[in-house]
Amino acid sequence: MIRKHTIPLESGQGSYTIFNSPDFEFVDPTQHFAESFIVTNVSMMRDLILLKKPPIPLEFIENFIHKEALKDWFKKLKDINDTKIPDNLIALLTANTKKDQIKLLKNLSITPDQLIGFIFKAWTDYGFRFSQYTSEYYQNGLDKSKMPKLVEIKGDTVFKIGDTSLTDGQLKQAVDHRKVIVAKFFDNKTSWHCFFLTFDSLKGKETWKNGQPHYHYISDKFGIDRQKVVEQLKGRKYNLGNLPHIDLIGYNDNEE
């Protein structure tokens, strides 16, 4: 389940609210995303409404924001279900060999919206449960306990909340060189597929197509045990051989 973290500004005037999702395994993605969406929206609406201190009973406010969050979710769900998904991506779920899978992935690109649509369709039409794992490592020699509660880098500007003995330059270097991998798994009995990306890829720091953001792909057809793949991706470095790529397009359009 998604977790909420509130970090007050040191000035006392407001706070940052951060939502993050811990690792989860073998879920019904339609239920998981619905719960996460509703919990997030309810929390944000509640904070905004209570900030204005309206002369309305709390019970009325709670009922209102839950109804609104539910309506917003059904609108979102319709958009997800209406999203056109590349045929080759769907065919990947029933391909019988590694060779066929690689052929289907050639020159394939997806948007974030198409990926969500694929996650849902893989479950509702093909029975693939969904898992997600994240790994995060700072550069060797960095004492993570010295990091402040929050660091935000915008260009050369470093914004931070909380005590730290690190300079702005050290904080910028820590964030810039942080290694993060997010892996998405689809499982149906012994059949599984994995799409994973690195934050370096999203920043255009990997060499694929001159910095094109992309997912790497691996499946049970590649002859590596699923648990070993997870352990590799959760480690500081991974070595899974030469894997096919799926271009991620429209990513920057979702960043505000």
Backbone angles phi, psi at 124, to 5 degrees: -70, -35
The pLDDT, as a whole number, for residue 16 is: 67
Which range (6-15, 49-58, 119-128, 231-240) has the least confidence?
6-15
Res 228 pLDDT > 90:
yes
- pTM above 0.95? no
The pLDDT, as a whole number, for residue 162 is: 83
Encode the chain in three state secondary structure: CCEEEEEECCCCCCEEEEEECCCEEEECHHHHHHHHHHHHHHHHHHHHHHHCCCCCCHHHHHHHHHHHHHHHHHHHHHHHHHCCCCHHHHHHCCCCCHHHHHHHHCCCEECHHHHHHHHHHHHHCCCCEEEEEEEEECCCCCCHHHCCCEEEEECCEEEEECCCCCCHHHHHHHHHCCEEEEEEEEEECCEEEEEEEEHHHHCCCCCHHHCCCEEEEEEHHHCCCHHHHHHHHHCCCCCCCCCCEEEECCCHHHCC
Percent of the chain with pLDDT over 70: 94
The pLDDT, as a whole number, for residue 167 is: 86
Per-residue pLDDT tens for 183-223?
999 999 999 999 999 999 998 899 899 999 999 999 999 99
**What number is the average pLDDT over the span 10-16?**
67
Res 255 pLDDT > 60:
no
Q: How far apart are CA 180 and CA 133, in angstroms?
A: 11
The pLDDT, as a whole number, for residue 254 is: 43
**What number is the average pLDDT over the span 232-253?**
90
Which range (86-90, 138-142, 170-174) has the least confidence?
138-142
The pLDDT, as a whole number, for residue 173 is: 87
The pLDDT, as a whole number, for residue 9 is: 67
Instruction: Provide the residue ranges of all domains of the chain, joining segments of one domain with +.
Output: 1-82, 85-138+178-256, 144-176
Are 185 and 130 within 8 A, CB to CB?
yes
Instruction: Return mean pLDDT, the chain.
Output: 90
Are 161 and 6 within 8 A, CB to CB?
no
The pLDDT, as a whole number, for residue 66 is: 93
The pLDDT, as a whole number, for residue 94 is: 95
E strands, 95-171, are 109-110, 129-137, 150-154, 157-161
